[in-house]
């Protein structure tokens, strides 16, 4: 199991048939000293997980992988890499979908096609003694050939196959993700968040429209006004603004 073309030298691909979770495996490799660019890819996961400890059901045919980075920057900055990863996924899937397909990014870490979730991204990190992130695992799942039914998910889901890319495979998608990720990662590393933020905003789902953000034990409603310079969601509520650091965004009408 390999991408059909070699990915850029930055990446060291560990290809597996079955694993509990590619992110758990990447964390184990990280603890054993694996370097930046280690990418764990599996055909199937038995305990894939998403944000807030939710299960990520992982049948064969879809793409499951986790990329280890060692950014050595403060946690608030490295969380911006969720937008870097989302842009790389959005670029990679846009190339395979019919022209004009609506590929958008939903704050903070989903990629949608025609308003339905096709990909989820999960960042998990650990810090060194100085408080900088020395191990960041970016776990990415993309529904290539199948997706969970509505009754099993919080947000409607779709797959690339259902959206008009019947030939796409996990390997060919990973092959396109890698160079795209490197472009955005280099941009972030060398010039900061500015152009990543601009590119993400250009793809943002429901920007300037009413949303509901489900937070732990609370719901906030308002208009998705902006992404602030750190990556927080700016929610306009009446005359004021609220910065949201974590939560699940849903469409709303006010």
Region 27-46 residues binding ligand BTN, contact defined as CB under 6 A: 45
Region 187-246 residues binding ligand BTN, contact defined as CB under 6 A: none
Contact status: 49 vs ligand BTN (CB under 6 A): yes
Most distant CA atoms of the chain, gap in Å: 54
Residues whose CB falls within 8 Å of the CB of residue 142, separated by 6 or more in sequence, listed in order: 62, 63, 89, 93, 111, 118, 119, 160, 170, 173
Contact status: 22 vs ligand BTN (CB under 6 A): yes
Q: Least Å distance between CB 54 and ligand BTN?
A: 6
Closer Cβ to ligand BTN, 54 or 208, answer by number = 54
User: How many helices and strands, by DSSP H and E, does the chain display?
Assistant: 5, 12
Using CB under 6 A, which of the segments 60-68, 190-198, 207-215, 229-237 binds ligand BTN? 60-68
Q: DSSP state, 79?
A: T
Region 97-156 residues binding ligand BTN, contact defined as CB under 6 A: 110, 120-122, 139-141
Whole-angstrom Cα Rg for the chain: 17
Closer Cβ to ligand BTN, 26 or 211, answer by number = 26
**Rounded to 5 degrees, what angle do the CA atoms 159, 162, 166 make?**
100
d(C-alpha 113, C-alpha 8), whole Å: 27
Using CB under 6 A, which of the segments 15-23, 79-87, 99-107, 197-205 binds ligand BTN? 15-23
Looking up tokens 């990720």 gives 181
Report the SS3 class of residue 103.
strand
Closer Cβ to ligand BTN, 141 or 231, answer by number = 141
Judged by CB under 6 A, the number of residues near ligand BTN is 20
Q: Phi and psi for 249 in degrees, rounded to 5?
A: -95, 135
d(C-alpha 112, C-alpha 158), whole Å: 8
Site string for ligand BTN, 61-100 (x = CB under 6 A): ---xxx----------------------------------
Q: Which residues bind ligand BTN (CB under 6 A)?
A: 21-23, 45, 48-51, 54, 56, 64-66, 110, 120-122, 139-141
């Amino acid at each position: 199991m390999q991408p059909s073309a070699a990915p850029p030298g930055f990446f060291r691909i560990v290809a597996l048939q079955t694993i509990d979770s590619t992110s758990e495996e990447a964390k184990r490799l990280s603890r054993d000293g694996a370097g930046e660019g280690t990418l764990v890819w599996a055909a199937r996961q038995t305990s894939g997980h998403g944000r807030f400890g939710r299960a990520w059901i992982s049948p064969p045919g879809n793409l499951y992988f986790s990329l280890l980075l060692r950014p050595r920057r403060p946690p608030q900055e490295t969380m911006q890499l969720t937008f870097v990863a989302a842009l790389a996924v959005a670029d990679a899937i846009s190339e395979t979908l019919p022209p004009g397909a609506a590929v958008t990014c939903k704050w903070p870490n989903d990629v949608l096609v025609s308003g339905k979730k096709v990909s989820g991204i999960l960042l998990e990190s650990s810090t060194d003694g100085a408080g900088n992130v020395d191990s960041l695992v970016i776990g990415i799942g993309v529904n290539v050939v199948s997706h969970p039914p509505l009754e099993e998910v919080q947000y409607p889901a779709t797959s690339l196959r259902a959206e008009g890319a019947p030939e796409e495979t996990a390997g060919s998608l990973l092959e396109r993700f890698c160079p795209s990720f490197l472009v955005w990662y280099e941009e972030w590393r060398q010039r900061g968040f500015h152009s990543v933020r601009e590119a993400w905003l250009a793809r943002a789902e429901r920007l300037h429209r009413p949303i509901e953000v489900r937070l732990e034990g609370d719901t906030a409603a308002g208009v998705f006004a902006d992404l602030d310079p750190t990556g927080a969601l700016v929610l306009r509520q009446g005359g004021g603004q609220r910065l949201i650091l974590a939560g699940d965004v849903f469409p709303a009408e006010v």
